[in-house]
Amino acid sequence: MRADDVVPAPSLFPLRIHELRWQAGGRAVLDGLSMELGGEGITILLGPNGAGKSVLLRTLCGLLEADSGEIHWGGDGGRPEFGVAMVFQQPKMLRDSVLANVELALRPQRVPAAERRQRARAVLERVGLVHRADDGARGLSGGERQRLALARAWVTRPRLLLLDEPTASLDPSSVEAIERIVREIRTEGTRILMTTHNLGQATRLADDVVFMDAGRVCEHAPVQRFFARPASQAARLYIQGELPWRMAF
C-alpha cells in the first residue's frame, strides 16, 4: 500500500468541535469548547496561559481523550487514522541522523523504504536542511531542530497540521524561517491550526484567529477584524497585555 493511498481525501473538514470538556486535577481545562474549522488557511489560537490551547491541540491529535463532547471530522465524522500531524513546542529527536528522523514519520503509513528516503530528502531540501541530512539530529540548533520537526510533519502530507508554539524561544531569523515554511505548507493545501503568544506572528500568518480563555472559545474572527475590533472584553485586554494571568494546572 502506498502512502498516497492511505492519506485521506479532503474529508476531515469541516471540523466541528462541540461542547468539548476535559478536566485535570479537578479544574476544567476545556470547559464546553465549541468551534468549527473549514478546510483552508491558517488559524491561530490565541489566549493566556492555561486557556486550554495546547490541550485542544492534543485532543485533536488523539493524544488526549475528552471527558465529554464531540469532534466531528468532515466526511463520515470519524477520526482519521492518518492526515493529522503535530509539531510540539520542544520536539524530541531520535538519536539518529536528520534524514532518519524524517523517514521515521512515514513508517506508520508503511511507505516503502526507497520512497521514504526520496520524500524525506525532498522535504529536507525545502526546509533548508538537506546539507545536514547525515548529521545527528540531536546536534542541531533550536531553530534547525524546529525546522526538522516541521519537515517530519510535512513529509506525511497532512491535511491538518497542529503547531504548538513552534517558534517559542527562537531567535528572529529562526522565527522568520519557520514562518516561511508554515506559509509554504499552507500553500500546498494543508490546513494549519497553531498556537502562539506572539501577536506580530499572528498578524503575519493568520487568516483567522480563535481567542480562547478559561477553556472556552471567546471569539473566532478574521485576523484583521480581530486585531482591529476585538469583540470580547477578554480579547481586548489580552491584545493590550492586560488580561490577568491565570494559574496553569
Partner 1 sequence: MNGLTQAFSDAFALLTGFDQQVAGIVLLSLRVSGLAVLFGTLLGLPLGACLGVGRFPGRTALVVILNGCMGLPSVVVGVVVYLLLSRSGPLGELGLLYSPTAMVVAQSLLVVPLMAAIARQVVEDAWREYEEELTAMRFGWFDSVRVLLHDCRHSLLVAVLAGLGRAMSEVGAVMIVGGNIDRSTRTMTTAIALETSKGDLPLAIALGLVLLSVILLLNGFAHALRQWALRRYA
List interacting residues with partner 1 (CB under 8 A): 58, 61-63, 81-82, 85-86, 88, 91-92, 94-97, 104-105, 107-109, 136-139, 152, 156
Q: Kindly state the smallest distance separating residue 156's Cβ from partner 1, in Å.
A: 8
Choice between 152 and 216, CB closer to partner 1? 152
Choice between 91 and 230, CB closer to partner 1? 91
C-alpha cell of residue 209: 484567529
Choice between 160 and 202, CB closer to partner 1? 160
CB 70 within 8 A of CB 17: yes
Find the farthest-apart pair of alpha carbons in the chain and give their distance in angstroms, rounded: 54
Choice between 136 and 142, CB closer to partner 1? 136
CB 231 within 8 A of CB 209: no
Q: Kindly state the smallest distance separating residue 89's Cβ from partner 1, in Å.
A: 11
Q: Which residues pair with 46 in a beta bridge?
A: 211
Q: Kindly state the smallest distance separating residue 59's Cβ from partner 1, in Å.
A: 12
- Beta strands at 15-24 and 216-222: parallel, antiparallel or unpaired: unpaired
Choice between 137 and 214, CB closer to partner 1? 137
C-alpha cell of residue 105: 514519520
Q: Kindly state the smallest distance separating residue 218's Cβ from partner 1, in Å.
A: 27
> CA torsion, points 241, 243, 245, 248, in degrees to nearest 10?
-110
Q: Kindly state the smallest distance separating residue 27's Cβ from partner 1, in Å.
A: 21
Q: Please state the three-class secondary structure of 10-37 as a single string.
A: CCCCCEEEEEEEEEECCEEEEEEEEEEE
* Sheet architecture: strand order including 27-37: 27-37, 15-24, 68-73
**Geometric angle at alpha carbon 164, from 235 and 124, rounded to 5°:** 135
Q: Which residues pair with 36 in a beta bridge?
A: 16
User: What is the C-alpha separation between 81 and 41, in angstroms, rounded?
Assistant: 22
Q: Kindly state the smallest distance separating residue 229's Cβ from partner 1, in Å.
A: 36
Q: Three-state SS for 124?
A: helix
Q: Kindly state the smallest distance separating residue 138's Cβ from partner 1, in Å.
A: 4
Choice between 164 and 219, CB closer to partner 1? 164
Choice between 89 and 232, CB closer to partner 1? 89
